[in-house]
Chain A
């Protein structure tokens, strides 16, 4: 076996080039998710390409229309950014709800968006997973959480994702051929085993968030106030002038779920929510039960909807 490599490019274009030139590469920014998964043998790599210090990925800029956050900005930097605190407080809230202060000092927004899906039966040592019989997500043939289904229901575990979805964020991506811009929602496949749509070598360079007049709601269900991943994340934004609600849900389904609701439309909010929540593929893969997480989701959405309506 050849030695592993640790490469530090100077530009995002060079990063993509290095990625394709080397076998079995992975990008590393903060590494807070990647390395834990690596230690559990959930992922393997031959080369690491460190994008944490690329200058073009480290800036936060804003104009009247949109905010642009470099993908390697840390969650701590985002939470402390004055413009974000003032205009997009939901991003601050989401960032501060992630992991612990030590982790947030190096974990990046790009890394969080591409945080690996989680399941109590998957995030274990390789010895553990082998003992129980490898599941679909580690090249086995059945899902353990559902007791035998042929689909993987590992949860999308990014807390930034639902918040960014609720803000209709877009991401720019460096590819071999140049850059492209897609909606944040398009990053996600909805599949538990391969939850992300980025092709090999594609690198998120920035996240763009439109600036509109809106109010926010953010909620994360977890047992402890720090360290924990989410059991359910709810992000809502309300554009009063457009009577529009944008809703992002995390840690429920294999992808971050997004939908919009037009107030005074044909369907009542409660009914619409019921329909949408039914489609979310909650399974027993968390320390909180599927039923509880569902109940809390319905409850919080309906309560918050009323609160938004009642705001002046």
Chain B
């Protein structure tokens, strides 16, 4: 260690540091300056960007000693007073902040660039932030904010199509309530909490994909001074898993290990260094078993099973599903055109920028854990089960979460282990994953091989849709059973058909487990379906948009599998993007190498049925009114960057006719908030939104009743408007505080509970519940590409998207969700893949796992379609997942349109396009090299 002086944000610090320590570590761990975030720890994501002598640097790879005698500026240092910097204000205003984890680094990069290049243009701005990855926004709103700061005019490319209404809060572009905290870097994420005296927990991971653990010897590790606890699998034998039907996982491997990277032992020590040293001293004796590394391996007949439950299949099948509705043979026989396509898909990671992190502690209430989770409730259940303590002894606290996208929705081994060691040692236990560990924890989109066959008549009317899917689940169940069904059940829309059916199988393989990721289960089959429809249109010489328009399910209908369609704005969505992309004018008329492609989709707006069956409501929201006039809104719903903490008070304020800052929130803490099933399946706006609305209506009626009684007026003639009780004619009866005083007179604070229970709808066949939702969202997308037919290189130049979200309660947030979804879809389409070599994950960092940068992202045109759902809160339904689906096939169809080549493997790399063109020599018509 060496004593150094550092000048950070004009303040001098004298401290001891290690000679090879990095600046991000010094800032966060030694000085507790947690505004600087660390996303990848190897300079590939930009989250940790700060300035050294005015130059942006990646603080995660800058030795602290390099900073001696230099001026360090973090996000805290860009303003001197309480005011935000103008660029920070613009980030807030434009909705450039969702999860907020990349925000401080993004602001530091952008501010430095614009200040040094005041005459910059839009392209240069994109270039300047191309080393800062954002997984939430698709960069559009970030670029909007920076462009305004730089004084650059930016074309308006967003629209809302819907009937006007006279809401005062709802429908207004509203920055997140916590946006200022996030843009300052002071919103606390799981690893930003400073909990005194915490142990650091590190994990020993399996180097083998499939091996029997013969023995674990940690005696040498235990001798190290500072090692407080070493845990191994047999201490936590209770199985868990997010679905009650496939609980096949233990916190650590017990008898055998099933993937490279599985946790075999855990060390909790006084410091990270000691914990790592102890890991080196643990000796594990393995006996290697045959490994099953892909779909074909696991389909083979064998007597070696990853899980014994597969024995009945005589292969490593985890789950099979088959549903057929209608007459398959007849419908295909009646079709004049039958086309099919098989596509293979690599696995996809959620790629949230905040690594998994948690701190667990033990006190008189039992175990508490602050953890980056989307679903506190299921973690609470898993902790109770695995630690064998009552549910009321488990408190899960969700801090600000740096993105989830499904990847923080399972209960995780590290959360169980940290809680267990806290329980054992009565010391707080802290875990923060490396980026490699995040990738190894996976739970991402399944690698898949999918065949879709579609039959139509000679007019392009769909007669039959049939699917055959094999999905590579990895070593454990996670959400996999649901994924197996979703892969097929979402084929029954958004088009009418006489027959739909599928047979799908999920395989166990010796790789990190797959689970739910944005657009869960529907994304890959949608890709193939939309490609096949395009092929059919091509053969019929029909405009692919026209073919789709002919087949759309109308609103107020029921699908073959008895999914109830209420509102449906798909026709408006498709025609909107057609118009915007000048489709009719340009499609088929562009030069070789330049193409347009279209696709449509739909998605559930909340799973109608809970994962763990119960008779409770799906969501509950509490409102408490006290003497100070403040309303406390509590809900278990988890804001992970999508804006729930802002949305629920907006809904309540709209109902109550009061200013929204009167309503303050405490969210997602199982001690303090009513249970909510969590942020998954795009359920929160619909379900928690309805619950908030119901609670607010009760509170409003109570206030009006009390005021009417006191003032001897007829309550039906009173309403709340703009913080006042007014008569129907608009005459002020009393102000908000007086109304509160009257309402609470002689009894004090009051609470109301609102809840949402989903309607009883759907079929009664096996699997009828998979994909069942109280409502469905719909969307359409057109991608425009330019392809170099010689090399296969291509660039998406424009992306036109439209999504029917029922009603945009907060248009700023809705646009953000849509733009982020489309961007994430394009990532899967263009460059992202979980690439393995013999079970070893190659792409385990942000350099090799290629999330598109600002330069790879096209100009995005955002269209919100409002179909006003009859059951959604103020007509709203989901917008966070459904939009992702059409972006991938739209791109593939655009490439097909540009060069006539159909790529059947994702991601569609330049090499794939090159090979597809080469395989078809008559295609290479012209060169644009």
Give the Cβ gap from B823 to chain A, nearest Cβ, in Å: 13
- With a cutoff of 8 Å between Cβ atoms, the chain A residues found around residue B578 in the complex are none
CB pair A227 B44 closer than 8 Å: yes
Question: A260 interface residue, CB < 8 Å from B?
Answer: no
Give the Cβ gap from B589 to chain A, nearest Cβ, in Å: 28
B854-879 interface code vs A (CB 8 A; 1 in, 0 out): 11100000000000000000000000
Question: A212 interface residue, CB < 8 Å from B?
Answer: no
CB pair B130 A227 closer than 8 Å: yes
CA A122 – CA B844 in complex, angstroms? 13
Question: B248 interface residue, CB < 8 Å from A?
Answer: no
CB pair B132 A303 closer than 8 Å: no
CB pair A105 B790 closer than 8 Å: no
CB pair A48 B205 closer than 8 Å: no
Question: B77 interface residue, CB < 8 Å from A?
Answer: no
Q: Which among B63, B109, B205, B855 has the highest number of chain A CB atoms within 10 Å?
A: B63
- With a cutoff of 8 Å between Cβ atoms, the chain A residues found around residue B434 in the complex are 125
CB pair B130 A131 closer than 8 Å: no
Given A3-B19, A4-B20, residue A226 in contact with residue B131 (CB < 8 A)? yes
Given A31-B66, A128-B844, residue A226 in contact with residue B855 (CB < 8 A)? yes
Question: B679 interface residue, CB < 8 Å from A?
Answer: no
- With a cutoff of 8 Å between Cβ atoms, the chain B residues found around residue A62 in the complex are none
Question: A130 interface residue, CB < 8 Å from B?
Answer: yes
CB pair B43 A36 closer than 8 Å: yes
CB pair A223 B909 closer than 8 Å: yes
- With a cutoff of 8 Å between Cβ atoms, the chain B residues found around residue A221 in the complex are 910
- With a cutoff of 8 Å between Cβ atoms, the chain B residues found around residue A123 in the complex are 847
Q: What secondary structure prevails in chain B residues at the interface with A?
A: loop
Question: A182 interface residue, CB < 8 Å from B?
Answer: no
CB pair B855 A128 closer than 8 Å: no
A residues 28-42 near B (Cβ < 8 Å) are 28, 31-32, 35-36, 38-40
CA A38 – CA B61 in complex, angstroms? 9
Given A6-B63, A226-B131, residue A296 in contact with residue B853 (CB < 8 A)? no
A residues 221-256 near B (Cβ < 8 Å) are 221, 223-229
Question: A124 interface residue, CB < 8 Å from B?
Answer: yes
CA A103 – CA B132 in complex, angstroms? 11
CB pair B207 A130 closer than 8 Å: yes
Given A36-B43, A295-B914, residue A102 in contact with residue B844 (CB < 8 A)? no
Question: A277 interface residue, CB < 8 Å from B?
Answer: no
Q: Which residue of A lies closest to B130 (CB)?
A: A226
Question: A127 interface residue, CB < 8 Å from B?
Answer: yes
CB pair A105 B62 closer than 8 Å: no
CB pair A39 B855 closer than 8 Å: no
Give the Cβ gap from B178 to chain A, nearest Cβ, in Å: 26
Q: Which among A31, A99, A224 has the highest number of chain B CB atoms within 10 Å?
A: A224
Contact of A31 among B63, B207, B853, B909 (CB under 8 A): B63
- With a cutoff of 8 Å between Cβ atoms, the chain A residues found around residue B927 in the complex are 303
Contact of A35 among B18, B63, B205 (CB under 8 A): B63
Q: Which residue of B lies closest to A225 (CB)?
A: B855
CB pair B850 A223 closer than 8 Å: yes
CA A36 – CA B44 in complex, angstroms? 10
Question: B381 interface residue, CB < 8 Å from A?
Answer: no
B residues 828-850 near A (Cβ < 8 Å) are 830-831, 835, 837-838, 840, 842, 844, 846-848, 850
Question: A25 interface residue, CB < 8 Å from B?
Answer: no
CB pair A6 B65 closer than 8 Å: yes
- With a cutoff of 8 Å between Cβ atoms, the chain A residues found around residue B909 in the complex are 223, 287-288
- With a cutoff of 8 Å between Cβ atoms, the chain A residues found around residue B838 in the complex are 132
Question: B56 interface residue, CB < 8 Å from A?
Answer: yes
CB pair A105 B55 closer than 8 Å: yes
CB pair B42 A99 closer than 8 Å: no
Question: B127 interface residue, CB < 8 Å from A?
Answer: yes
CB pair B61 A224 closer than 8 Å: no
Give the Cβ gap from B200 to chain A, nearest Cβ, in Å: 17
Question: B604 interface residue, CB < 8 Å from A?
Answer: no
CB pair B130 A228 closer than 8 Å: no
The tally of residues in B whose CB lies under 8 Å from a CB in A reads 61
CB pair A4 B847 closer than 8 Å: no
CB pair B131 A100 closer than 8 Å: yes
Contact of A106 among B42, B57, B208 (CB under 8 A): B57
CA A300 – CA B927 in complex, angstroms? 12
CB pair B831 A132 closer than 8 Å: no
CA A296 – CA B918 in complex, angstroms? 12
A88-123 interface code vs B (CB 8 A; 1 in, 0 out): 000000000001111101100000000000001101
- With a cutoff of 8 Å between Cβ atoms, the chain A residues found around residue B855 in the complex are 224-226
- With a cutoff of 8 Å between Cβ atoms, the chain A residues found around residue B919 in the complex are none
CB pair A224 B56 closer than 8 Å: no
Contact of B847 among A6, A130, A227 (CB under 8 A): A227
- With a cutoff of 8 Å between Cβ atoms, the chain A residues found around residue B207 in the complex are 127, 130-131
CB pair B436 A128 closer than 8 Å: yes
Question: A299 interface residue, CB < 8 Å from B?
Answer: yes
CA A257 – CA B514 in complex, angstroms? 42
B residues 421-477 near A (Cβ < 8 Å) are 434, 436
CA A296 – CA B914 in complex, angstroms? 10
B97-140 interface code vs A (CB 8 A; 1 in, 0 out): 00000000000010001000000000000011111100000000
Contact of B57 among A102, A125, A226 (CB under 8 A): A102
Give the Cβ gap from B270 to chain A, nearest Cβ, in Å: 19
- With a cutoff of 8 Å between Cβ atoms, the chain A residues found around residue B853 in the complex are 100, 224-227
Give the Cβ gap from A232 to chain B, nearest Cβ, in Å: 11
Q: Which residue of A lies closest to B20 (CB)?
A: A4
Question: B504 interface residue, CB < 8 Å from A?
Answer: no
Given A31-B61, A101-B128, A102-B49, residue A4 in contact with residue B19 (CB < 8 A)? yes
Give the Cβ gap from A141 to chain B, nearest Cβ, in Å: 17
List 29 contacting pairs A-B, 8 Å CB cutoff, sorted by A.
A4-B20, A6-B2, A28-B63, A31-B61, A31-B63, A31-B66, A35-B22, A35-B61, A36-B43, A39-B42, A48-B19, A48-B20, A50-B65, A101-B130, A102-B43, A105-B55, A106-B55, A124-B844, A127-B205, A128-B840, A128-B844, A223-B830, A226-B130, A226-B853, A227-B44, A287-B835, A289-B911, A292-B911, A296-B914
Binding site for B on A (CB under 8 A): 3-6, 28, 31-32, 35-36, 38-40, 45, 48, 50, 52, 99-103, 105-106, 120-121, 123-125, 127-128, 130-132, 144, 221, 223-229, 287-289, 292, 295-296, 299-300, 303
Given contacts A45-B20, A103-B131, A287-B835, 9 further A-B contacts (CB under 8 A): A28-B63, A38-B20, A100-B131, A102-B49, A127-B207, A226-B853, A288-B911, A295-B914, A303-B929
In the A-B complex, the 7 residue pairs with the smallest Cβ-Cβ separation, listed nearest first, are A100-B131, A226-B130, A131-B207, A4-B19, A225-B855, A6-B65, A35-B61
